[in-house]
Chains A and B, each alone.
Chain A
Amino acid sequence: MTFRGKLFWMFTIALVLSVVLIAAGVTVVARKAFDENNAQHTEALVAQFQREFSNRGQEVAHRVQTIANAESTVRMAIDLARPTADPSIYVDDATGVSQSSHLDILDFVSNDGTIISSAEYHARFGYKLQWIKALTAGKTVDWVAQGPFLMKIDTQAGPAVALLAVSTVRVGDRNLYIVGGERLGREFLGSLVLPQGMRALLYLNLENKFEPADLMDENGAIEQADRFASSIEKDLRQPAERKFTVNQTADAKEAEVFHETPLLGRQSELLGILMVGSSQREVVILQRRIEVLAAITVVIGIVIALLFSWWGSARVTKPIQELAEGARAVSNGNWNTRVEVRGGGDVAQLATAFNQMTQQLADQRERLLQTERVAAWREVARRLAHELKNPLFPLQTTVENLRRSKDKNPDQFEEVFRESTGILLSEIENLKTIVGRFSDFAKMPQPELGAVNVNEVVRSVVKLFEAQFGAVGRPPITPELHLDEELPTIQADQTLLHRAVENLVLNAMDAMPAGGVLMLRTSHQDGKVDLEVSDTGTGLTPEECDRLFTPYYTTKQHGTGLGLAIVQSVVSDHGGRVSVESESGVGTSVHIELPSRPPKKPQTPEAVAVKSGE
């Protein structure tokens, strides 16, 4: 992965993580805040509801007191206090008074606890209201101080729970009790003012065990009452205020948080359970909106992060990329490459250093070229001197012999002259040969590319030297061919390749004066063709290996030092590489790697200069 890519992903991951963490944090904090707010809201509403409940009790007490104060009630009390009182005439009074007073429950009860008239249980006249009889037996009860209270009562429709208040009208030593109240039920729930999103449920403990039909809202018995069973059963065992959540469906929006308040009677018996439910719909919708917003923020953040990362990494890596391109250009031989220096940071310093480096490299290369050129010329001069010195010395001695023979032995001069001219011609021929070799090296042609099978080149070279491998008078050399038959053809100059392989074979033969094995191996990998020429000769020292491809360098007594230089020249012209491995006393291997097609040669300044005629 590129540096830009790494930087891009690093930036992206860091930014995305940041955005996600922030979004998650905001969501969690918001959810917590909503929950707290919701809890406070619910508690406030529950308190409001309880106040409302309390107010209803006071209202009931007020209505009952109003009935007690009414003239008709006082007349009834006076009438009933008479010894010959006829209570039957009042049997229907409670019904009418309860309707005008908007009370569900209204009983006129005589001093001995006998029901004179009952609105909620009309047919019960003449029976005793046991609880009031028990409470008032032999004592005076301050009903105003008692205030409203809850009680389980009997009605025409069955048992019920009512919020009751009691007032008395006293005539002489006899009381007329007015028991009034509101029945707890759906009508009662419906009359309570509840904020939007809230609902009140009422469970009436009529059976002292959980009965789904006894759980109601303002519309009557509720569906799925069983969802409340566990909480109600807990209250039936131990009445206490509780909070719990009920989910009618799998959708969280339908969840409700209920605040449960046990409704206790005068003896602290559990008469009912009031459940104020607060819908979570708004909260959940708001939370979901925040979550959606957070998700959108995350997505947008990720996109922005990607864009920013792309831009940032591009901005950061651009100078480095330029440096890398510069380095590649330098590696390709463009020593004059310079990169732009931007700003004053580390990368700018690096660019400056790079420019300085390339400047120094160019200078050093120039100096090195000059040095190498001088050295090469010196080597050429040395080799020329060496090559020319050998023929020149016989030429000199021959000419001196001629001069001495003419001066001292004129009679033998003719004979000496013939021999000497023969030697002179022979040496001059040597000089011509030497000059010719130099001339050949100087005139190395540009490769003319064509489809070449390296195996065929190897075979033709081996065939050329077959006679010499087993020549009489010299130790035999055994050629071994390990040729890759799957070897692909490459674009190359067959003649030049033939010449290079020929030189390698010659060198190998020269390296094995005592005979040995000449191994030629071909193979291919990644579209490149490898050629290995190995001998089992005396081998080379590392120093010899280092200088092996230097023109005119030779380890042989009579070599020109151009063989491997030609090999290197040919391989280089084909865009390949040549290397040598050698171990003294074991042998030497020369490896040639040739591409399938030679790359186009970059135009060196020199070449450009030649082409332009400079």
Chain B
Amino acid sequence: MKRPLSLFLAASSVALAAGPAFTARRPHYGGTLVVEEAAKLSSLDAPGNAAEARLKAQIESLIYDRAGRNDTSTEPGAFRLAQWEPGKDAVLAANEGYKDGRPFVDSVEIRMGRPAGDRMMDLELGKADVAEIPVEQARRAAEGGARISASRPDQLISIVFEGTSATTGDARIREALARSIDRAAIVNFILQKQGEPAGGLLPQWSSGTAFLFSTAADPSRAKEIVAQIGPSPKLRLGYDSGDPLLQAIGERIAVNARAAGMAVTPEAVAGGGRPGSGAWLTRMDMPSAEPGAALSYFLEQLKPIVARNEDREPLADPATPEQIYEREAAVAGSYSVIPIAWAPHVYGVSARVRDWSAPEPGKPLPLADIWLDQMDNTPGKKNR
């Protein structure tokens, strides 16, 4: 079994582009690829939260021949599940009979429940080959010499308003909050310039119309609106207690809001469960690079909020750019969702990993296509 010629060519070109440290080599088979994940998957049947669902989809895309999020094929994939230790390890062995050819690596070991610090350290020590690292740490990691690979900004960080309480049901309060937020500062300081401010529900690279949505802070207007409202509005902004990025963004939003005369209190909620009522800081992955599909997915996810404001029919499939923009503008204009920023997925990749590329939205990690350089496999030695 051999990989297609195009992959060989692609691998060679990437290796050449990587610089003088990487000499052009022929891909070869063998080795175990170690992937570290933050999520802990206890069962392949019932993922607990979004991170676990993402990991489940990741594993299933390797053991089944699936192309994307909506693909439910059960045809054997590039790997087969060789070992499964719930919540700890999953070992996938190469499927010798895979229809597209045997993967280069003999096996993939997925270590679950690894904290960000440990993942970074394992990458540096050569104990891990691929690990997703927090976007806010990407810049420092890169400056520290780590091999970083970032996807296109495909995570929407936003505030969604649920319920119809006196606070969340008042569009003026939502608008004041939206105008008070300094998105640029959030992207520059918190995301460390990894990503871009978000004004709409789709990123510029996907829709091409994101520039039409303002992302500039307007604290003066926010103060005016707050002054019109009367007594200083109080708002609790929930976020997943296990997400330090959302915590940092939530605290910054609270500072911005305070400057505009609003009292926003960030509140960590354990387990990632969303409150039934109130403002909720969340991040959602784009399911697809295609804007219509992505917007439909977001609208489906935000259905309760969107329905409250815009009781419309589902987006046409396929939708025209005008239809997409119009629907996106309607949601953004109601301030039921306040887009904050687009952030990429950032991966740390060890030096021996070849032919790596960050996955497109909705796509699994390209583990079947990468191969391991044999230049130095000594555990614990840096391979950069």
Contacts and interface: CB of A to CB of B under 8 A. Distances in A.
B193 interface: yes
Complex A-B, nearest 7 residue pairs according to Cβ-Cβ distance, in ascending order: A123-B251, A123-B252, A91-B189, A88-B188, A88-B189, A123-B255, A126-B185
B42 interface: no
A110 to B, nearest CB: 13
Interface residues of B, number: 16
Contacts of B248: 122-123
B254 A88 contact: no
Nearest to B191: A88
Contact of B255 (A88, A89, A124): A124
Interface in A77-91: 88-89, 91
Nearest to B185: A126
Interface in B152-191: 182, 185, 188-190
Contact of B189 (A121, A126, A156): A126
A92 B252 CA distance: 13
13 contacts: A88-B189, A89-B139, A89-B192, A91-B189, A91-B190, A91-B192, A121-B255, A122-B251, A123-B251, A126-B182, A126-B185, A127-B255, A156-B251
Interface string B190-209: 10110000000000000000
Given A89-B139, A156-B251, A125 B189 contact: yes
B259 interface: yes
Contact of A125 (B139, B185, B193): B185
A89 B139 CA distance: 8
Contacts of B185: 125-126
Interface string B229-253: 0000000000000000000100110
A88 B193 contact: yes
Contacts of A156: 251
Contacts of B254: 123
A124 B182 CA distance: 11
Interface residues of A, number: 12
Interface of B: 139-140, 143, 182, 185, 188-190, 192-193, 248, 251-252, 254-255, 259
A92 to B, nearest CB: 8
A361 to B, nearest CB: 115
Contacts of B259: 127
A122 B251 CA distance: 8
Nearest to B190: A91
Given A123-B252, A125-B185, 20 more contacts: A88-B188, A88-B189, A89-B140, A89-B143, A89-B192, A91-B189, A91-B192, A121-B255, A122-B248, A122-B251, A123-B248, A123-B251, A123-B254, A123-B255, A124-B255, A125-B189, A126-B182, A126-B185, A127-B255, A127-B259
A23 B235 CA distance: 69
A228 B59 CA distance: 63
A34 to B, nearest CB: 52
Contacts of A127: 255, 259
Contacts of B251: 122-123, 156
B340 to A, nearest CB: 13
Main secondary structure of the interface of A (DSSP, over half): loop
Contacts of A91: 189-190, 192
Nearest to A125: B189
Chain A CB count within 10 A is highest, among B251, B252, B255, for B255
A123 B252 CA distance: 4
Nearest to A124: B255
Interface in A141-163: 156
Nearest to B186: A123
A128 to B, nearest CB: 11
A202 B140 CA distance: 40
Interface in A214-247: none
Contacts of B182: 126
Nearest to B256: A123
A125 B249 CA distance: 12
Contacts of B193: 88
A159 to B, nearest CB: 12
B136 to A, nearest CB: 8
A146 B74 CA distance: 73
A127 B140 CA distance: 23
Contacts of B188: 88
Nearest to A90: B189
Nearest to A87: B189
A121 B252 CA distance: 9
Interface string A280-306: 000000000000000000000000000
B267 to A, nearest CB: 13
Interface string A117-137: 000011111110000000000
Interface in A192-217: none
B125 to A, nearest CB: 21
Contacts of A122: 248, 251
A121 B255 CA distance: 9
B185 to A, nearest CB: 5
- Chain B CB count within 10 A is highest, among A122, A123, A124, A156, for A123
Nearest to A117: B189
Which among A88, A121, A125, A156 has the greatest number of chain B C-beta atoms within 10 A? A88
A424 to B, nearest CB: 159
B252 A88 contact: no
Contacts of B189: 88, 91, 125-126
B81 to A, nearest CB: 40
Interface string A252-272: 000000000000000000000
Contacts of A89: 139-140, 143, 192
A206 B337 CA distance: 36
A93 to B, nearest CB: 10
A117 to B, nearest CB: 9
A127 B190 CA distance: 15
A288 B143 CA distance: 71
Nearest to A91: B189
Interface in A493-533: none
Contacts of A124: 255
Nearest to A156: B251
B237 to A, nearest CB: 12
Contacts of B139: 89
A89 B190 CA distance: 9
A156 B265 CA distance: 10
A534 B192 CA distance: 142
A92 B188 CA distance: 12
A124 B139 CA distance: 20
B262 to A, nearest CB: 14
B228 to A, nearest CB: 24
Contacts of B140: 89, 92
